[in-house]
Structure 1
Amino acid sequence: MIGEHVIVGYSSDPGGREALALGATITQVTGGELTVATIYPPGSPGLAVEAQANLAHAAEELGPAPAEYITYESRGAGRGLSVLASRIRADLIVVGSTDGGQHGRIAIGSTSNHLLHLSSEAVMVAPAQYAPSDGPGRLTLAYVHRPQCDAAVERMAQAALRLGVTLRLITFDLRTEDQVKLRDDLALAVRLAWESTGIEAESEVAEGHDVAAAMADVEWLPGELLVCAASEDAQPHRVFLGELAMKMLRASPCPVTVLPRGFS
């Protein structure tokens, strides 16, 4: 299950603080390790000192919560976080939305964009002005009938069982697909969750003329986490979001996790 070792990409802006709050919440629930990292460019002694100061602020915000604090030199924050995550064997990278994002929605910046297309680890993005809850209220998996999603059904069913929360499988009807087939595929996914873990997953079809309308068509609980599988176009063991999933992420009112292809 993801969350055994979480690395947070921290900066002194609101997105960095929201990522820190989300990462801390995840590790509190999973009992995993927490690493807080600030990336700075090479050949910049002043920015290296500033990165250390940022981590001191992060430590103040976390208080007594156990965490490791690391500054890391890299030409790009996204690349730096990905390399560092691999080196310390983190299984989840948490980042925040870029400045200026709509309240309660995810705004993609250069760091998250890099991670969502190249990371070897799962990536979680916090919405703008994210406020932590007591823990996950429900896991929702965006489902499309394809191998990556079928594998994710089993993994998320195991995670829901371990966390003691409900699993919801949701598929999108954008009025361009065969509705009967969509519901049949969803029923098979519910059966897969049951056969692999004994969990009775909820299922729901989100309807709308576009992704944003479909996302608004369903209820989102406090503490909800939305999970997406990587695109079939992703390289093995890499994250890569397709066009539909990217639209879903931008319209999500809750944190979104993207799994790398072949996640286990």
Structure 2
Amino acid sequence: MIGAHVIVGYTGDAGGRDALALGSAITRVTGGELTVAAVYPPGSPGQAVEAQANLAHAAGELGAQPAEYIAFESRGAGRGLAVVASRIKADLIVAGSAEGGQHGRIAIGSTADHLLHLSPEAVMLAPSGYLPPEEPSRLTLAYVHRPQCDEAVERVAQAALRLGVPLRLITLDLRTEDPGRLRDDLALAVRLAWESTGIEAETEVAEGFDVAAAMANLEWPPGDLLVCASSEDAQPHRVFLGEVAMKALRAASCPVTVLPRGFS
């Protein structure tokens, strides 16, 4: 299960605080290690000092919760977080939304965009203004019938079992698919979850004329977490989010985790 070692990309803005709150909550649930990283560009002494100040502020926010703090020089924040994650063997990178986005939704800035297309580790994004609950309430996996999603069913079912929360499998019907086939695919995924963990997953087919409308037809209670598998276009052991999944991420009102291809 992801969350054994979480790295948070921290910035001194609302998105950074959202990411810190989410990463902190994840490690409290999983018992994993927490690393807070502030990335600054090369040749910028002033921003290096600012990065250290941001880390001090993050330490104050976390209080007694143990964490490691790293200031890292890189030409891009997303690239820097990916490099640090690999070096410290983190299995989850948490980032916040870009400034100016809609409250309660995920706004993708340059950092998140890089991570969603090249990260070697799972990526979790926090909606703007997100306040994590004490405990997770459910794991929801966006499912389509392909190998990456079948692998994700087993992994997410195992995570749900360890966390003691329900597992929901969702498929979006954009009025272009055969609803019967979609439900048959979900039935196979339910069987896969049951055979691998003994969990009986709930399923929903969300209808809509577009992805946002379909997502709006689903309930997202506090503590829900949406998980997406990477696209078939992803390099092995890399994150790459496809077009439909990207639209679902933008429409989600809960944190979203994207698993790299070949996640284990």
SS state at 2:171 partner: strand
Which residue pairs with 1:134 in the alignment? 134
Which residue pairs with 2:84 in the alignment? 84
Counterpart residue identity of residue 121, structure 1: E
Q: Aligned-pair distance for 1:14? A: 0.1
Which residue pairs with 1:99 in the alignment? 99
Counterpart residue identity of residue 20, structure 1: L
Q: Write the mapping of 1:182-201 to structure 2, written as runs, cut at 5 A.
A: 182-201=182-201
Superposed CA offset, 1:229-248 (max 9, x none): 00000000000001000000
- CA distance in structure 1 between the aligned counterparts of 2:145 and 2:157, rounded to whole angstroms: 16
Q: Write the mapping of 1:20-169 to structure 2, written as runs, cut at 5 A.
A: 20-169=20-169
Which residue pairs with 2:210 in the alignment? 210
Residues paired across the two proteins, number: 264
The TM-score, its normalising length taken from structure 2, stands at 0.99
SS state at 1:177 partner: coil
Deviates more, 1:13-22 or 1:43-52: 43-52
Q: Aligned-pair distance for 1:136? A: 1.2
- CA distance in structure 2 between the aligned counterparts of 1:212 and 1:224, rounded to whole angstroms: 17
Which residue pairs with 2:238 in the alignment? 238
* Percent of residue pairs bearing the same amino acid type: 81
- CA distance in structure 2 between the aligned counterparts of 1:62 and 1:202, rounded to whole angstroms: 35
Q: Aligned-pair distance for 1:11? A: 0.3
Which residue pairs with 1:221 in the alignment? 221
Gaps of 5+ in 2: none
Counterpart residue identity of residue 247, structure 2: K
Q: 2:180 aligned with 1:180, yes or no?
A: yes
- CA distance in structure 1 between the aligned counterparts of 2:83 and 2:238, rounded to whole angstroms: 13
Gaps of 5+ in 1: none
The TM-score, its normalising length taken from structure 1, stands at 0.99
Superposed CA offset, 1:89-122 (max 9, x none): 0000000000011010000000000000000000
Counterpart residue identity of residue 250, structure 2: R
> Which ranges of 4 or more aligned residues in structure 1 deviate by more than 3 Å?
none
- CA distance in structure 1 between the aligned counterparts of 2:25 and 2:248, rounded to whole angstroms: 23
